[in-house]
Amino acid sequence: MYKKNSFKKDSTKGILFWITGLSGSGKTTLGKNIFNFVKKNFGPTLIFSGDEIRKIFNLNLYDLKSRIEYLNFYINLCKNITDQNINVIFCVVGLNDNIRKINRAKFKNYIEIFLKTRIADIKKLNKKKIYRIVNKNLWGIDLKPDFPKYPDIIIKNNFSKSPKDLSLILMKKLLKYKNFFSR
């Protein structure tokens, strides 16, 4: 088990901003909204979502084993980029304790952001078609999610605030890391 907010720092590496949460919780929207802020305050930055990487590399299996393999692939991609002193905002469901442990071990410059949202709220607002059709291998439905126990930042989303307002909350929370990670 890792310690809460147990940051290390390597000024020769980029930062991995790992945004995790249920499908439809707003991870990618949040990531896109903070992109310019992260770039301005933390340096060169790229953004990816798990859905985009799945499309690019034709990763179309959803069973638990494949999901874990894909998450390891994402980690290796992020590691390659952050090793070049470029930050990565990665928006992914990734609700697996082992994956987060790997991230904490592999990345000295790592900020885990958990977008905490209830499935009932996502379904109620029809945020994702995936919850309206019968699906197998879906986190929170038939795959038990491992919600982060010690994320660095928690953003609660019950859809009462706009994505812009949630992004402003996240940016304010990220500011406390600016001096620590300044280059």
Domain that holds residue 22: 16-173
> Which pLDDT does position 2 carry in this prediction?
39
Pairing of strands 110-116, 16-21: parallel
Q: What is the mean pLDDT of the chain?
A: 87
Question: Would you place residue 130 in the very low, low, confident or very high pLDDT band (cuts 50, 70, 90)?
Answer: low
Residue 124 lies in a domain: yes
Rounded Cα gap, residues 44 and 15, in angstroms: 10
Number of domain units in the chain: 1
Q: What per-residue confidence (pLDDT) applies to 145?
A: 80
Residue 132: per-residue pLDDT: 52
Whether 2 is in a domain gets the answer no
The CATH number given to whatever domain includes residue 75 is 3.40.50.300
Please give the backbone phi and psi of residue 139, each rounded to the nearest 5 degrees, phi first: -55, 130
Over the stretch 23-32, which tens digit does the pLDDT of each residue have?
889 999 999 9
Q: Give residue 143's pLDDT band: very low, low, confident or very high (50, 70, 90).
A: low
The closest of 82, 81, 57 to 70, measured between CA atoms, is 57
Return d(Cα 119, Cα 107) in angstroms, integer.
30
